């Protein structure tokens, strides 16, 4: 059976998924470093190792993500929007109408048709507001990682109102909230809620979000999922290992 690879070179992490037919036989994730091309090559080697195959056995490779042009071995280059649409659609059992992808550098909401093709999409503005990067910066303020930060937020009963989603200004807002002795659980929950309301605002532009898939690194946060669900009044489907969805979609598009 033919073997395909999808490589998603994101702003924070680089992911690779290897497919044989329709099933995943190998995958790997590394932090995206300064030498992006080396990262892409490394992650490919690691995924091949995971699959127990040689890189030469891969028939076709598709690269995607913000560094997609740097990986010169790719047979095809596609945007992460098309890849997220294909990956999210196929992995959820081919019934999604909308895909939310909260990545390191941007947040996308993608409307798909009955074939998993993009019908329309929205992306956040150029700054870090409402992205994984924002959560990362905020978790540093609380001296924890994103998972710990998410856990903290879940413990809140009354999230504080946070007005700024600019990572620079939110940080100073958070610092002054800490100084005013607000509970840190409530501050964390306030931050998640402010991002969730931005994402929900994008989702509502589409009018058909009955079946919404949530992927990207941001989907690992229970708190973010909960607040988005509350804001759009619909449950979200979170795929297993959501940060691999885009790479999976790229591999599917290599077929």
DSSP assignment of 222-250 equals HHHHHHHHHHHTS-EEEPSSGGGHHHHHH
Task: Answer yes or no whether residue 25 interacts with another protein by CB under 8 A.
Answer: no
Task: Answer yes or no whether residue 123 interacts with another protein by CB under 8 A.
Answer: yes
Please pick, from the candidates 25, 45, 79, 238, the single residue that binds another protein as defined by CB under 8 A. 79
Please pick, from the candidates 36, 58, 101, 106, the single residue that binds another protein as defined by CB under 8 A. 106
Beta-carbon contacts of residue 140 (< 8 Å; ≥ 6 apart): none
169: left (phi over 0), alpha (psi -120 to 50) or beta: alpha
Q: How many residues bind another protein (CB under 8 A)?
A: 17
Q: How far is the CB of 209 from another protein (least distance, A)?
A: 14
Q: How far is the CB of 55 from another protein (least distance, A)?
A: 26
Please pick, from the candidates 13, 15, 27, 80, the single residue that binds another protein as defined by CB under 8 A. 80
Please provide residue 250's backbone torsions phi and psi, each rounded to the nearest 5 degrees: -65, -45
Local structure of 200: helix, strand or coil:
helix
- What Å distances lie between residue 238 and 115, 139, 144, 172, 226, CA to CA? 20, 22, 23, 32, 11
Question: In the range 48-77, which residues lie near another protein by CB under 8 A?
Answer: 66
Segment near another protein (CB under 8 A), from 14-22, 115-123, 156-164, 189-197? 115-123
Which residues would be at the binding site for another protein (CB under 8 A)? Answer: 66, 78-82, 105-106, 117-121, 123, 125-126, 205
């Amino acid at each position: 059976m033919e073997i395909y690879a999808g490589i998603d070179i994101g702003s924070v992490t680089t992911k690779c998924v290897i497919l044989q037919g329709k099933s995943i036989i190998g995958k790997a994730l590394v932090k995206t470093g300064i030498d992006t091309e080396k990262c892409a090559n490394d992650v490919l080697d690691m995924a091949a190792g995971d699959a127990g195959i040689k890189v030469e056995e891969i028939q076709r490779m598709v690269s995607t993500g913000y560094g997609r042009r740097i990986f010169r071995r790719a047979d095809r280059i596609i945007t992460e929007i098309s890849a997220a649409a294909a990956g999210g659609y196929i992995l959820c059992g081919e019934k999604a109408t909308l895909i939310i992808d909260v990545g390191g550098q941007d947040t996308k909401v993608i409307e798909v048709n009955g074939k998993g093709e993009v019908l329309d999409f929205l992306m956040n503005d150029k700054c870090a507001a409402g992205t994984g990067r924002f959560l990362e910066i905020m978790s540093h303020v609380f001296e924890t990682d994103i998972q710990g930060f998410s856990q903290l937020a879940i413990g809140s009963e009354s999230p504080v109102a946070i007005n700024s989603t600019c990572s620079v200004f939110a940080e100073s807002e958070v610092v002054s909230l800490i100084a005013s002795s607000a509970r840190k659980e409530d501050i964390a929950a306030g931050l998640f809620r402010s991002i969730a309301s931005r994402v929900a605002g994008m989702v509502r532009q589409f009018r058909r979000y009955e079946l919404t898939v949530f992927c990207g690194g941001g989907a690992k946060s229970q708190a973010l999922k909960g607040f988005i669900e509350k804001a759009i009044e619909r449950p979200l489907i979170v795929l297993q290992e959501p940060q691999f969805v885009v790479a999976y979609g790229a591999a599917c598009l290599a077929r």
